[in-house]
Amino acid sequence: MWGGPPFVTEPVSYQNQSFEDPEPEATYVKVVGLAELDGFEQPYSPGQLGHVATSRDEESQAASAWMGIVRKELAELDERLSRHLLRLQQQNERVLEVVVQSLEGKVAEVMSKQPMTEWRLSELTASLKGLQ
């Protein structure tokens, strides 16, 4: 999606402009619109995309359209991030389960060898007492 500025404001013509006048009267044109507003998926030149907003109402409509696009993009981003977070949590659970199973297997192996180890230890203790 094209990520350009929502409004491109350029002075078109100046009336009664003098270099001494700090605030000359100017006629400004706001080029509004995006490919998404016209149903296209790729950016085009401002002349192809938008129209000339001449009133506050049209500017307000253009701003509302932009806000709708931004809200839609934010909702899509939120959805993508939520799905990604869910996948990461599921992956984390699977990895944790594999690690826990491995540890449980090792603990079970050690516990199964414990009686034999205790028997050998008692034999060794008896042998040491016999040597004394």
**Backbone torsions φ then ψ of 33, nearest 5 degrees:** 120, 155
Answer whether residue 1 shows pLDDT above 60: no
Structure tokens, 75: 């909702």
What is the full DSSP assignment across 72-118?
HHHHHHHHHHHHHHHHHHHHHHHHHHHHHHHHHHHHHHHHHHHHHHH
Task: List pLDDT tens digits, range 28-66.
Answer: 444 444 444 454 444 444 454 455 555 788 888 888 999
Answer whether residue 6 shows pLDDT above 60: no
pLDDT above 70 coverage of the chain, percent: 59
Domain ranges of the chain: 7-82
pTM beyond cutoff 0.85 = no
Task: List pLDDT tens digits, range 64-88.
Answer: 999 999 999 999 999 999 999 999 9
Between CA 83 and CA 92 the distance in angstroms is 14
